[in-house]
């Protein structure tokens, strides 16, 4: 039963990654159909992100009321409905409406699922599961590209993913008894369901909570700013052709996905704190390689190395949450971690774009260095303030 449930969780992580890159890959075709400016993608992204932050913050309450299995069913079904809504939208305001359930569906399941894995499985599974999320982010644009290349249009790209999410919902409904049969989770849920969820004020007073929030904010700033602006940096600063710049920028994400596959094996010999520190060392080496004036090869190699460095940080911070804060508080803490991560993802890459437009794209690696330095400081403070069991 445990192996079957783990297989369901792996599929669920792939599904989490599928919708994430769809807007970016489809928008060049979508905005023309709606007669809006290309910048309007930012409005959709902000609505989705706001819903995700809200549902992440509510995940403690939601999970204690319903349990992880039901949270997953409701969240994935909500996402499937929103994706289908996108596929039938005929105006921009309809996209805005459907963006609300799109975001709400993502946050709760992300926080609940990460907490469940942190409580019930070893660190290697957390790394491999987040590797599966990377697989999902690679499959999503491929499906959209297939729909566009086949002259079906972006509508069908969203519809294909909606069908997959609907099928996953059916699987999750069938898997609900498996979650109940997992004794560790069942006992935890029984002990928690009569407790009141922690308020934000109570969470902030927990030693280490503010530090882990800032650490997640900085990690998302590092990852998303690196990924979003890598192509522009290569094209504008390193004089790489736009076509090659787009290809080489993707090497960063290959580094993350491959790194998480490798990290799963390394966690058999190293604990979460050691893995996070190792990731920070690799990320620092990558940023330095980008800064050094050794040309395009050094920059491209640096981007891959930053990806390898980012790989263990996110999953290992999540997996270490019960050890730092206790199993009874981990769902609330992971909820605010997810909210902090989504906030960093939403705010900081566009902020760097504004800074670069007013100054120079050459600041790119130095901004990454600043985010990495603050991440290191906050994580070390977290380790000092909390004790690992």
Query: What integer pLDDT is reported at residue 389 of this predicted model?
Result: 40
64-68, 101-105, 212-216, 355-359 — which is least confidently predicted? 64-68
Asked whether 64 and 197 are in contact (CB, 8 A), the reply is: yes
> What is the residue-wise DSSP string for 243-302?
HHHHHHHHHHHHHHHHHHHHHHHHTTTS-HHHHHHHHHHHHHHHHHHHHSSS-HHHHHHH
Nearest alpha carbon to residue 102 among 36, 163, 19, 170: 19
Nearest alpha carbon to residue 164 among 185, 146, 182: 146
The pTM assigned to this predicted structure is 0.81
The three-class DSSP label of residue 332 is helix
Alpha carbon distances (Å) from 329 to 66, 166, 322, 380: 17, 32, 7, 20
15-24, 48-57, 112-121 — which is least confidently predicted? 15-24
Instruction: Copy the structure tokens of residue 215.
Output: 């650490």
Site of tokens 């760097």: 352
Q: What is the mean pLDDT of residues 7-14?
A: 87
> How many C-beta neighbours within 10 Å does residue 285 have?
15
The C-alpha R_g of the chain, in whole angstroms, comes to 20
Q: Cα 268 from chain centroid?
A: 24
More confident call, 382 vs 190: 382
Asked whether 25 and 75 are in contact (CB, 8 A), the reply is: no
Asked whether 381 and 217 are in contact (CB, 8 A), the reply is: no
34-43, 169-178, 307-316, 329-338 — which is least confidently predicted? 34-43
Hey, what domains does the chain have and what are their CATH numbers?
2-197 (1.20.1250.20), 202-385 (1.20.1250.20)
> How many C-beta neighbours within 10 Å does residue 130 have?
29
What is the Cα–Cα distance from 301 to 312, expressed in whole angstroms?
18
What is the Cα–Cα distance from 343 to 85, expressed in whole angstroms?
25
What is the Cα–Cα distance from 15 to 36, expressed in whole angstroms?
30
> How many C-beta neighbours within 10 Å does residue 269 have?
8
Q: What is the mean pLDDT of residues 79-86?
A: 95
- Sign of torsion over alpha carbons 325, 328, 331, 332: negative
The residues, any chain, with a CB within 8 Å of residue 324's CB and separated by 6 or more, are 208, 212, 333, 382, 386, 387, 388
DSSP, res 196: P
pLDDT digits (tens, 9 = 90+) for 94-124: 999 999 999 998 877 788 888 888 888 888 8
pLDDT digits (tens, 9 = 90+) for 244-255: 776 787 788 888
Mean pLDDT of the chain: 87
């Amino acid at each position: 039963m445990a192996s079957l449930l783990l297989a369901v969780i792996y599929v669920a992580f792939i599904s989490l990654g599928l919708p994430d890159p769809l807007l970016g890959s489809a928008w060049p075709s979508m905005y023309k159909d709606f007669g809006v400016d290309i910048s309007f993608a930012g409005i959709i992204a902000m609505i989705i992100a706001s819903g995700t932050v809200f549902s992440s913050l509510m995940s403690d309450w939601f999970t204690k009321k319903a349990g992880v299995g039901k949270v997953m069913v409701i969240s994935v079904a909500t996402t499937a409905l929103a994706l289908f809504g996108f596929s039938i939208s005929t105006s921009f305001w309809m996209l805005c409406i459907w963006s609300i359930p799109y975001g709400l569906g993502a946050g709760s399941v992300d926080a609940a699922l990460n907490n469940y894995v942190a409580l019930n499985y070893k660190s290697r599974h957390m790394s491999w599961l987040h590797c599966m999320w990377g697989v999902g982010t690679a499959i999503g644009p491929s499906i959209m590209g297939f729909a566009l290349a086949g002259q079906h249009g972006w509508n069908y790209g969203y519809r294909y993913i909606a069908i997959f999410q609907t099928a996953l919902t059916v699987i999750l409904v069938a898997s609900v008894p498996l979650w109940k049969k997992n004794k560790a989770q069942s006992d935890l849920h029984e002990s928690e369901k009569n407790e009141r969820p922690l308020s934000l004020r109570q969470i902030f007073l927990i030693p280490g909570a503010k530090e882990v929030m800032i650490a997640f904010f900085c990690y998302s700033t590092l990852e998303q700013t690196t990924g979003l602006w890598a192509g522009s940096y290569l094209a504008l600063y390193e004089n790489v052709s736009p076509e090659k710049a787009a290809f080489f920028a993707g090497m960063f994400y290959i580094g993350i996905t491959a790194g998480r596959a490798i990290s799963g094996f390394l966690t058999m010999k190293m604990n979460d704190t050691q893995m996070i520190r190792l990731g920070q060392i690799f990320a620092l080496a990558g940023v330095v390689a980008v800064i050094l004036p050794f040309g395009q090869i050094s920059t491209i190699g640096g981007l891959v190395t930053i990806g390898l460095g980012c790989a263990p940080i996110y999953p290992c911070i999540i997996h270490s949450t019960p050890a730092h804060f206790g199993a009874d508080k981990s769902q609330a803490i992971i909820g605010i971690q997810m909210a902090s991560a989504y906030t960093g993802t939403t705010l900081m890459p566009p902020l760097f774009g504004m800074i670069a437009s007013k100054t120079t794209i050459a600041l790119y690696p130095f901004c990454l260095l600043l985010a990495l330095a603050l991440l290191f400081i906050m994580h070390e403070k977290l380790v000092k303030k909390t004790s690992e069991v």
